[in-house]
Structure 1
Amino acid sequence: MTHVRVKGFKIFKDRHGRMRCYHRATGHKIDLTEAPLGSAEFLAQCETIRAIAVAQKEKGLRAGTLSGLIKGYFETGHFANLAEATRRDYRKCADFLAPIRDTPVHVIDTPLIAGIHDKAAKKIGWRRANMVRTLLSEVFRHAIPQGLITANYAKDVIPKRRPRDRAYANRPWTIEERDIVLSRAKPHVRVALALMMNTGLDPSDALKLRKDQIDGDTIWGVRGKTGEEVAIPVSPTLQAALDSIPAHEAATVLASSQGAAWTYNGFSTVWQ
Structure 2
Amino acid sequence: MKSVTIVRGIKRYKHPGTGIVYCYHRKTGKRIDADFGSPEFFSKLAEIEKVVKASEPLPGTLGLAISEYMQSPDWSNLRYKTRVSYERAFAVLKPLRDMPLAKIDRPFVFKLRDQKLFPKHGTWMANYAVTVLGIVLRFARDRGWIASNPLAEPVKKIKVAEDRSAPNRPWSEEECRVVIDRAPPQLKLPLALAMCAGLRKSDFLKVTLTSLRNGSITVRTSKRGVPISVPVHPILAQALETRPKSDAVQIAVNSLGQPWTETGFNASFRTFKKALEQEGVVAPGLTPHGLRHTLGTRLREAGADDRTIADVLGQKTSSMARRYSENAALPEQAQGLVRTLRLTETKNKG
**Offset of residue 217 of structure 1:** 1.0
**Offset of residue 199 of structure 1:** 1.0
**Distance in 1 separating the partners of 2:267 and 2:144:** 42
Counterpart in the other structure of 1:194: 192
The higher relative CO (CA closer than 8 Å, separation ≥ 6) is in 2
- Give the unaligned 5+ runs of structure 1: 1-59
- Give the unaligned 5+ runs of structure 2: 1-55, 271-350
Q: Which residue among 135, 150, 155 is the counterpart of 2:152?
A: 155
Partner of 1:191, secondary structure, is helix
Counterpart in the other structure of 2:170: 172
Larger mean CA deviation between 137-146 and 226-235 belongs to 137-146
Partner of 1:182, secondary structure, is helix
The structure with more radius of gyration? 2
Counterpart in the other structure of 1:146: 143
Partner of 1:94, secondary structure, is helix
Counterpart in the other structure of 1:135: 132
Q: How does 1:174-253 map to 2 (within 5 A)?
A: 174-253=172-251
Retained in 2: the 8 A contact 1:85–1:204? no
**Distance in 2 separating the partners of 1:266 and 1:85:** 18
**Distance in 2 separating the partners of 1:238 and 1:252:** 15
Please tell me the residue identity of whatever aligns with 1:77.
Answer: P
Retained in 1: the 8 A contact 2:57–2:98? no
Partner of 1:261, secondary structure, is coil
Change (3 A) 1:251 1:180: same
* Cα deviation digits, residues 186-214 of structure 1 (max 9, x gap): 43222111111111111112222122111
Q: Percent same amino acid at aligned positions?
A: 34
* Cα deviation digits, residues 170-191 of structure 1 (max 9, x gap): 2211122223333444432221
Counterpart in the other structure of 2:37: none
* TM-score w.r.t. length of structure 1: 0.68
Change (3 A) 1:148 1:207: farther
Aligned length: 213
**Distance in 2 separating the partners of 1:176 and 1:249:** 34
* Cα deviation digits, residues 37-58 of structure 1 (max 9, x gap): xxxxxxxxxxxxxxxxxxxxxx
Retained in 2: the 8 A contact 1:207–1:262? yes
Counterpart in the other structure of 1:32: none
* TM-score w.r.t. length of structure 2: 0.54
Counterpart in the other structure of 1:96: 92
Change (3 A) 1:89 1:186: farther
**Distance in 2 separating the partners of 1:62 and 1:249:** 54
Please tell me the residue identity of whatever aligns with 1:204.
Answer: S
* Cα deviation digits, residues 108-136 of structure 1 (max 9, x gap): 22222222221322333323222111111
Give the root-mean-square deviation of aligned CA atoms. 2.5
